[in-house]
Structure 1
């Protein structure tokens, strides 16, 4: 024995905490974003009409898709939290075409931001932040 005393079950508690941490990809406003959410988002894409255009799972491109989905989910959560904190609703949000009038604007703003701006609440927040 090493001479260090252990609390009963302390190792198993650490193991449980590590397992939980491994199943969480981010925390937004104190709420965990679980790996399961990323898995579900990927599954929806892979079951959708454009599945053939997606990279194969397990490849570097497939992992990049999962990173993008993670960024998208986290950004959606940040938008929801900030909109709630500001008391914003989707009512009166600018149209998507007003914020992103063409492909150039979509490329300049970035794919995650462009995808999130499909949501009227995100557009309302964007308008409030950039006013």
Structure 2
């Protein structure tokens, strides 16, 4: 059996930073949205409700899966889409249910909500 300390050491940690500077640590499979619920078959995903006063996020918008050198984002048929923004500002739209790799320092736009992704 793993102790909490050894489990934390194995789980890579990433941060999601909102435009206002609010950060969220992500260490495992996470589902984000206004009021997210884990999708089947990923019922083990941790829900993370992001503040969205403009209502651009879907209730359950995207799935995030953590790996050591990158995270993977899957758009869950969101209404306003998900884009990966490269360092030069070029946006690439993620097709619904497509799993896309995101590197540290890139920005993911969930609807109109830009979220910077970093590996501390």
Q: Which has the higher contact order (CA 8 A, sep 6+)?
A: 2
Same fold (TM > 0.5) = no
User: Please, what TM-score do these two structures have when normalized by structure 2?
Assistant: 0.24
TM-score by length of 1: 0.23
| Greater helix content | 1
